[in-house]
Structure 1
Amino acid sequence: MRLAFAIPWRDRGSWLFEHLPEGYTGDLLFAAPEPNADLTPRASKLPPYLAEFFCLLGRGYKLAHYDVVFAWELRCTLAVLLLRRLQRTRTPVIVVGPILKGAARTLLPLIRPLLADATKIVCFSSAERDAYAELLKLPAERFVFFPTPWAAPSDVPEPTEGGFALALGQSNRDYATLFRAVEGLVIPVTVVAADDTPFGGVPPPPNVTVHFNTDHHTTNALIASATLHLIPLHPTGFSSGQTVLLRAMAAKKACIVSRIPGVTDYIDENQTAVLVPPHDEGALRDALTQLWEDTQERQRLGENAARAAQERFGFAGFVKHLLELIL
């Protein structure tokens, strides 16, 4: 069986082929402009979704050459489904990890007809699986929940204790609550984000060091050397925080996470991570100070987390689940 994996990132996705069983072959279809490609200037001036579509179209991909196409994330998915209609092929498309938030919700009248062509829609949280069926007005059996896969890259440093708490990430982060929670503490905190939007206008206190857009190696080094990880999140109906959580778990790190739908699918409470109510600076402060002072508890949580990351969230199991959808 010949499969296609349409993904929105360059130079990623090769892990998919490492776990395909005998009898399956596959190709990567990139829905993103390549550096110095002739298509890049034109694509970059197009509205979202159309840029990815013209990238796929310009590369001459023929969906009919494949038995099944797996399309990652919403923008890439819509590009693939547009291309499917243009090419008038009946090749099944399985959607993986769409997130309906922000501008996507305002475009639902345009998105629904395209997503109706999808054979299955894989959600990365049980909350999304249940909510998206109603939001898109599609049959509930069309939606399935598989956890986001993760495995530590080979270049990740060995875990150490660097003497700081790390808060990493941008999407749906509630750093305003974090800043209020840690103000006045002697615990050093490092925050890594794309910009200061998640700060909510609250300035970082003196014990917080902020880095924007760290490179791959710096980020991996921070993850490995943090004493523990903090993932403060706003309560929403879409999944967020799980990729950073899995990276920390794989690095044997104890984590304190906001209890919101989606990320809780990945946590065995008080066994693989500590959960606190969202927007509760007092609970976050208490959890941080207690865990910071308890080395044995951090080690216990970290070891449990690393075991869960390997056994429950590995690539091999994820690919196996995907293939079960086409049998």
Structure 2
Amino acid sequence: MLNRQTPSAQSWHTRRLRVTGSEEWLGYFNQTKEALAQKPDGIVTVFPQLATTVGLQQRFASQRIPVIAWCFNIGACYPGLKRLLAQTALKDINRFIVHSQRERENLSEWLKLPLSRFEFVPLQRAKITITETEEMNNPFLLAMGSAQRDYATLFKAVEKLGLRTVVIAGNHALAGLTIPDNVEVRSGL
């Protein structure tokens, strides 16, 4: 399973740029090269970058092994050269595990691959023991995430309503926005 970060990789939530830099791509290529050199029976990647580098390296090698692209989620389905590169690199990935049913359809269409190669698996974790009581006297809205969120519209709505709101997102997702007084922002968690 390929899931370790490259030495230069930062958390997606704390980085300044929304895109993967050349140094990071080089790290992913090297990690993929190491994995393929072990002649595995298959590879499970985590996040799109490793799936892309595995796909590209397999295209130029005689070795073809099953690949599952786990947690395959992207911020946008880009047009042009990025789309062509993605279609080429990901053509032979056997299975994509995505975060929603809608992503199955979007990615199948974008990559021009059969819908049957995309599977929705809900993100999950072990049962959490509840140690706190529900906030009944001062309820709030919770919004989380950094990729493709429209926080500007959310902030306008909750400001008008006066609804207490907690946002957990990377600083880049909120850059340039005016945070209303009733919104509490948490990042770097």
Q: 1:191 aligns with which of 167, 171, 176?
A: 167
- Give matches, 1:228-239, under 5 Å: none
Runs of 4+ residues deviating >4 angstroms: 103-106, 184-187
Distance 1:103 1:146, change over 3 A: closer
Residue 71 of structure 1 corresponds to which residue in structure 2? 45
> Is the counterpart of residue 32 in structure 1 residue 32 in structure 2?
no
Q: 2:55 aligns with which of 77, 81, 86?
A: 81
- Whose relative contact order is higher, 1 or 2, with alpha carbons under 8 Å and at least 6 apart? 2
Percent of residue pairs bearing the same amino acid type: 29
Higher helix share: 1
Distance 1:103 1:185, change over 3 A: closer
> Is the counterpart of residue 130 in structure 1 residue 126 in structure 2?
no
- Corresponding letter in the other structure for 2:181: P
- Corresponding letter in the other structure for 2:2: A
Larger Rg: 1
> Is the counterpart of residue 109 in structure 1 residue 84 in structure 2?
yes
State the shift of 1:51 in Å: 3.3
Q: 1:175 aligns with which of 130, 147, 151?
A: 151
Deviations for 1:182-206, whole angstroms, at most 9, x for unmatched residues? 32656533323211634773x2222
- Give matches, 1:196-235, under 5 Å: 197-198=173-174, 201=177, 203-213=178-188, 215=189
Distance 1:211 1:127, change over 3 A: closer
TM-score after normalising by structure 2: 0.71
Residue 94 of structure 1 corresponds to which residue in structure 2? 68
- Corresponding letter in the other structure for 2:110: L
User: Is contact 2:53-2:89 (8 Å) kept?
Assistant: no
Residue 6 of structure 1 corresponds to which residue in structure 2? 2
State the shift of 1:34 in Å: 6.9
* SS of structure 1 residue aligned to 2:126: coil
User: Is contact 2:77-2:107 (8 Å) kept?
Assistant: no
User: Is contact 2:6-2:24 (8 Å) kept?
Assistant: no
- Stretches of structure 1 lacking an aligned partner (at least 5 in a row): 8-29, 36-43, 216-327
Q: How many residues align?
A: 175
* SS of structure 2 residue aligned to 1:170: coil
RMSD: 3.3
- Corresponding letter in the other structure for 1:70: V
Distance 1:123 1:167, change over 3 A: closer
* SS of structure 1 residue aligned to 2:171: coil
Residue 28 of structure 2 corresponds to which residue in structure 1? 52
User: Is contact 2:100-2:120 (8 Å) kept?
Assistant: yes
- Stretches of structure 2 lacking an aligned partner (at least 5 in a row): 10-19
User: Is contact 1:63-1:91 (8 Å) kept?
Assistant: no
